[in-house]
Amino acid sequence: MKHTDDRTPTAVEDRPVALVDPHARAWSPRTARARFREGLTGPTAGVAVGHTQANLISVPADWAYDMLLFCQRNPKPCPVLDVTDAGSATTVLAPDADLRTDLPRYRVWENGELVDEPTDVRAYWRDDLVSFLIGCSFTFEWALTAAGVPVRHVEQGRNVPMYVTSWQCRPAGRLHGPMVVSMRPVPPAHLSAAIRESSLLPAVHGGPVHCGDPSGLGVDDLGRPDFGDPVDFEPDDIPVFWACGVTPQAAVMASRPPFALTHAPGQMFLSDARDEQYRVA
């Protein structure tokens, strides 16, 4: 498994939004998007609690079918919440939002290489781009908290740690690549609640894909995440892994499409949708 320092490093380190502004938990999604449009950056865990967060990937229209098929074949890491028309920067998840300006930070990819991490992608926008909004595990953290499950990265003011695994996604057309997972340490007494509560939200990755020994995922060192920040464990905590919406970025790196725009890992789109809309029971 390769780590971040073996490929293009993250160019920018941002503080979690909830640390920058302690009122962020109570913001409306519209307020959050306005703050991001004004230049506020950082991981969005715990922001606008109760509203659905989403990963973003935008690809040229001639790659859009491959991306749609990739998501359909890999629903755990890539649960699709919306797909835009070509060239459109709007989404039904927040009709007044602009996908080019309203995320904290973006990533710009050319031929599979990370070339920029701007806070506004209007200068890169193309009329042929089709955008995919993909469910994010930050969405089910409210349910974990309500069930008494500690969320360590939020407690510690860090971005969630994410790892590129040895598990290969099912290929689709020209797209292929490994699954990415997010990890949360969970005390054994809360493990069943963590599995139950996240499983009730399949549109935002659902239940874990792996618990315990990270070597089963091909992950060598939990202290060296590929994206995000390392998180401190409490005694007896068990590492629990969920499929992650950064997986399309791993597919971009592996498949090398000529161009793509994505969110920066952990810096999500805040939608108007309520989390309970995606709860299945």
Question: What is the rounded average pLDDT of the residues 270-281?
Answer: 92
pLDDT of residue 252: 98
Question: What is the rounded average pLDDT of the residues 151-156?
Answer: 95
Residue in this structure with the two tokens 């519209």, named with its chain if needed: 30
Mean pLDDT, the chain, as a whole number? Answer: 94
CB 154 within 8 A of CB 202: no
CATH 3.40.1640.10 residue window(s) in the chain = 17-139+254-278
Q: What is the CATH number of domain 142-243?
A: 3.30.2040.10
- The C-alpha atoms of residue 63 and residue 73 are separated, in whole angstroms, by 15
- The C-alpha atoms of residue 136 and residue 45 are separated, in whole angstroms, by 10
104-148 pLDDT, tens digit each: 999 999 999 999 999 999 999 999 999 999 999 999 998 999 999
Q: Which CATH architecture has domain 17-139+254-278?
A: 3-Layer(aba) Sandwich (3.40)
| pLDDT for residue 67 is more than 90 | yes
22-48 pLDDT, tens digit each: 899 999 999 999 999 999 999 999 999
pLDDT band for position 281 (50/70/90)?
confident
CATH 3.30.2040.10 residue window(s) in the chain = 142-243
- E strands, 111-161, in order: 113-116, 129-135
Q: How far is CA 79 from CA 56, 216, 252, in A?
A: 11, 23, 17
pLDDT of residue 280: 92
Question: What is the rounded average pLDDT of the residues 211-235?
Answer: 96
Q: Whole-model pTM?
A: 0.93
